[in-house]
Amino acid sequence: MKLFNRTPAEVRTAVAPTDRVLTYAEGPDGYVIATDKALYLGGLRLPWFQVDRGVWDEEGLTVVTTAGQTHRALLPEPGRIPEAVRERVTASIVVSQYAPLDARGGVRLVARKTDDDRMIWEFVFDSGMDPQDPGLRALAEQALEETRRSFGV
């Protein structure tokens, strides 16, 4: 045990044993904790590769996941949480490449590194495009293969 460990016990016990605490901030609903592998928010563990973005305002943090879920934490004094969220989300992105598909628009191809160093790819279609359209999916898959070849991933 470290002699001068200033991290509160509640923070240390809230995170997975394999996660290293980078920073934390206390809000009215508890702690928001940024670790090397995940963001702990309102009792949830959100791995960085599942966090699409964090948005800040004067009251706190809103996190949007890659699945489109939104989570909110009140943080009147966020400390270093904003910087940690930005840095860790950015670090999880290995490739972000836009590919035009047809006259209607295109798709952003995003590769993210998971906790166990695998890569997962996601398609982020332009607004108004139907991600379930088989023709668009086929064009996106083709663009993905070209992107993977060009980046060597």
In this structure, which CATH number among 2.30.29, 1.10.150, 2.40.10, 3.40.1440 belongs to the domain 9-90?
2.30.29
Tens of pLDDT along the chain (153 residues)?
444 568 899 999 999 999 999 999 999 989 999 999 999 998 899 999 999 999 999 889 999 999 999 999 999 899 999 999 999 999 999 999 999 998 889 999 999 999 888 999 999 999 999 999 999 999 999 999 999 999 888
pTM for the whole structure: 0.85
Helix, strand, coil fractions of the chain, as percent rounded to 5: 25, 40, 35
Q: How far apart, in whole angstroms, are the C-alpha atoms of residue 75 and residue 151?
A: 39
Domain ranges in the chain?
9-90, 93-151
What's the pLDDT score for residue 1? Answer: 44
